[in-house]
A = this chain, B = another copy of it.
Amino acid sequence: MIFPTLSDIQSAHKRIKPFIHQTPVLTSQQLNKIFDCVLFFKCENFQRVGAFKFRGATNAVLQLTDNEKKSGVVTHSSGNHAAALALAATMNGVKPYIVMPESAPVVKKNAVAGYGAEITFCKPTLQAREETTRIIIEKTGATLVHPYDNFNVICGQGTAAMELLDEIKGLDIVVAPIGGGGLMSGTSTAVKNTNDKIKVVGAEPLNANDAWKSFTTGILTPSVNPLTVADGLLTSLSELTFSIVRKNVDQIFTVKEESIVECMLLVWERMKIIIEPSSATVLAAVKENPDYFRGKKTGLIISGGNVDFRKLPF
């Protein structure tokens, strides 16, 4: 198993820079006062397609050989990775095939279709997704770009934390959400290899706490039918992301559903920016663990801003 290095992430950043948005790092005096620490929000909700996923997808597409490009790319995703791969592919003249669960939010379905992807819907189970994907690969020869169990994707995702560390000096802690672990693998690699004194913390819904379980027991333990408003965090760690998380991450905090919704609304109301429930887990981790964060300079990776406003969780 080959782990990405800081140098891999730096190379990815050079590669994807012409395509991505350099997203802002925002602060809020009101939220600092509420949580008694100094928060820096790395706003990937302002990234293309509204999520950090565009970084990893772009890095993966740009690493394809010319021959691979001709056959297209395929993935299965609950939404943000699908939109990201669709746009990254079409921007580079590559055909994207996307397998999506029927249950994905309408706003995400529309976004993926709008980026010119050929969508195949399937039942919302990992098995159905994988089977449908396999069939498409057989038919088209497309290259699978897995949402997180992919070296190039992980390197791309790590560039958000790299930009955060470049911009904000002296951080004590960096928090990122954990779903499949792609973002956390990239984030933790970037952080620990820049300054290993910075604590790396994962935020995970209590209702989808496979990473916490795996991290705590040392045994990879996937979630079974998790149910959370943080629909980007339903997936479970892979062998690769689990190994990277075990090596780099200091702590995983699970957060309650009501904290996720409350913190999402708090950001909407006070900062006037849209973040999705999955992103609100990082602030929920701060809220539920005041002693850990008090007085600390804390970077929060805000993973995305794709919300289905016709189906709000409050």
Residue ranges of A at the interface with B (Cβ–Cβ < 8 Å): 45-46, 50, 107, 265, 268-269, 272-275, 305, 307, 309-310, 312, 314
The docked-state distance in angstroms from the alpha carbon of A54 to that of B272 is 16
Min C-beta distance of A231 to chain B, whole Å:
16
Which residue of the partner chain B has the closest CB to A305? B272
Q: Which residues of B contact A265 (CB under 8 A)?
A: 309
B314 adjacent to A309 (CB under 8 Å): yes
Copies in the complex: 2
Taking each of A107, A268, A269, which has the highest tally of chain B beta carbons within 10 Å of its own beta carbon? A269
A45 adjacent to B269 (CB under 8 Å): no
B269 adjacent to A272 (CB under 8 Å): no
Min C-beta distance of A160 to chain B, whole Å:
15
Q: Which residues of B contact A45 (CB under 8 A)?
A: 272
Knowing that A268-B307, A272-B305, A309-B314 touch, tell me 13 more A-B residue pairs with CB under 8 angstroms: A45-B272, A107-B269, A265-B309, A268-B274, A268-B309, A269-B274, A269-B309, A272-B273, A273-B273, A273-B274, A274-B274, A310-B314, A312-B312
Min C-beta distance of A163 to chain B, whole Å:
18
Q: Which residues of B contact A309 (CB under 8 A)?
A: 265, 268-269, 314
The docked-state distance in angstroms from the alpha carbon of A265 to that of B312 is 13
The docked-state distance in angstroms from the alpha carbon of A274 to that of B107 is 17
Which residue of the partner chain B has the closest CB to A269? B107
Min C-beta distance of A275 to chain B, whole Å:
8
Taking each of A107, A272, A314, which has the highest tally of chain B beta carbons within 10 Å of its own beta carbon? A272
Min C-beta distance of A137 to chain B, whole Å:
31
Q: Which residues of B contact A273 (CB under 8 A)?
A: 272-274
The docked-state distance in angstroms from the alpha carbon of A307 to that of B270 is 10
The docked-state distance in angstroms from the alpha carbon of A245 to that of B77 is 52
Min C-beta distance of A309 to chain B, whole Å:
6
A272 adjacent to B50 (CB under 8 Å): yes
Min C-beta distance of A314 to chain B, whole Å:
7
Min C-beta distance of A233 to chain B, whole Å:
19
Which residue of the partner chain B has the closest CB to A107? B269
The docked-state distance in angstroms from the alpha carbon of A309 to that of B272 is 12
Q: Which residues of B contact A307 (CB under 8 A)?
A: 268-269
